[in-house]
Structure formats: structure tokens, C-alpha cells
Chain A
């Protein structure tokens, strides 16, 4: 009996931002959590939404984004589930963190968001979420196409 393995493609993820130099995409799970965080009419949601929008525009619109570590930061290298490691990056604003990795998607540079931490913690990133993000990224066809998987 043959087993079919679903192939996950970042190019099918939701396009959140697009520019001359890069794009931002999110998995449906990440998008749903992100939407909840920014869609409120309260003051914090409005501020949060503005920051993420501007940060995404900066990331996508220029070759050298002016994003300080307070806005966009590499959280470290984590196992991809195939013997290699994924560099997990994070967009953050107003206590919401979007974890993902930068891949070549559709012929261009793309931040692929997989997990959102909306627990509103002030301190360090959630290690469990970082590891889960790396495993999610490892399953993507675009990641495999870059020859990053070791087994």
C-alpha cells in the first residue's frame, strides 16, 4: 500500500506583503493567530498592526531593511527534522512574535511565517515554538529545494 505524503509549499501560503526585494507569507495557522492580534479596534491592536505593516514594507521594499533587533531578529539555528538546522527569524511588535525563516519562494526572497506567539510575554522567545517553527520550515518543498535537508 503506497502512502501519499502531502507536499507543503510556501508559495501556497497567504501572501501578506510584497515588495521589490522580498515578500512575506504566512501559513494559515500563523495568519489566523496574526489576524486575531491585529484586527481589534482597541488602541493596542491598531498600534501593533501599524508596526507590523511598516516593518513588512521595510523588509520587502529595500535591499537593506532598517530593522533593528527590536523589530526583526534571528533567534538561532534549530533542527529541521532532517539532520540539518534552520535559521529561525522573528518579527515582533507590541508583545506579538511571528516566527519563520527566510527562503527562496517563487523565485524571490521570502519570510515564511509559521508560528505566532501571542502570549504577550516580555521576556525571551518561546523555545518550544522556535523548535516547532524549524520543523515546519523543514517540511516545506522550497526548503528541500535549497538542498538543506541532509537525510
Chain B
């Protein structure tokens, strides 16, 4: 394995552990804040105390569903979001903004719409003319 491959693997492993640790810290924070004992958490989740302990240990590899079950038992819902700073804006954000914030300076959307309408009329008119001449040709024949 090349040094580059090894570093990639290390980063991937660290990412796995970081997510697990974040979840475990959050569970501990909520149980402390709400005063939920281990026995009570086991009762609410339907999991054994040993299983809860296993879930909170470093060697844990919980399923997404078991994590959701624990948070549900704590009266919480876990939201998932990335930590990446590059967030794709949904289209609604763009449409809700004033024109000045969505277009480059000098751009006139109303003018473009007007041009589009003219072109559309021209196409329709052209089609009409073509249809008319076709009829005339037929009549001539």
C-alpha cells in the first residue's frame, strides 16, 4: 500500500470514529441534562443495559436505526447535516431574492422577457404565414 493510500485510509477511519464519538458525546450530554439513568434508557429503548453500554464504547458500530431509537427514547430527534462550508443553495433562495442580488450589474430581465415575447410572436407568425401559403398553394392547385 502506498503512503498516499495509507493516509487516505487513516482519514477515512478517523472520520468514522469522529462521527461515532460525536453521537456518543451527544447521548451522554442529553442523559446528563435530562437525568436519564442507564436503566431508564434501557427500558425506554427496549435494549439491554449491556447493549447500551456496548453502544457507548469505543468499539461500537451501531446501526443508524439503533442510534435513532436511542435519541427517540431521549425525546430527541437527530438531524443530519454536513460540516462542509460549501452549501448548495436551494432554488427558492435565489428566486426570493431581489433582482439586484441574483443578477450581474447591467442585466435587465424585463428586457429579455420582452425580447423572448417578440421572438415567440415572430415564430407563431412565421408558422401562420407558412400555413397560409400552403393553403394558397393547395387552392391554386
Contacts and interface: CB of A to CB of B under 8 A. Distances in A.
A94 B21 CA distance: 13
A66 B58 contact: no
Contact of B58 (A58, A64, A94): A94
Contact of B28 (A46, A54, A68, A94): A68
Contacts of A14: none
Contacts of B58: 47-48, 51, 70-71, 92-94
Interface in A63-121: 64, 66-71, 92-95
Interface residues on B, range: 20 to 34
Contact of A50 (B17, B53, B57): B17
Interface centre among A51, A67, A68, A95 (most CB of B within 10 A): A68
B13 to A, nearest CB: 5
Interface residues of A, number: 21
A70 B21 contact: no
A47 B13 contact: yes
Interface string B105-127: 00000000000000000000000
Interface string B19-33: 001001111110010
Contacts of B21: 50-51, 54-55
Contacts of B32: 64, 66
Given A68-B28, A70-B58, A71-B58, A50 B18 contact: yes
B53 A70 contact: yes
19 contacts: A41-B6, A47-B58, A50-B17, A51-B17, A51-B21, A51-B58, A54-B18, A66-B26, A66-B28, A66-B32, A67-B28, A68-B56, A69-B53, A70-B53, A70-B56, A71-B24, A71-B58, A94-B58, A94-B59
Interface of B: 6, 9-10, 13-14, 16-18, 21, 24-29, 32, 53, 56-59
Q: Sort A-B residue pairs by CB-CB distance and give the 8 closest, nearest first.
A: A93-B58, A50-B17, A66-B25, A66-B28, A70-B57, A51-B58, A70-B56, A68-B28
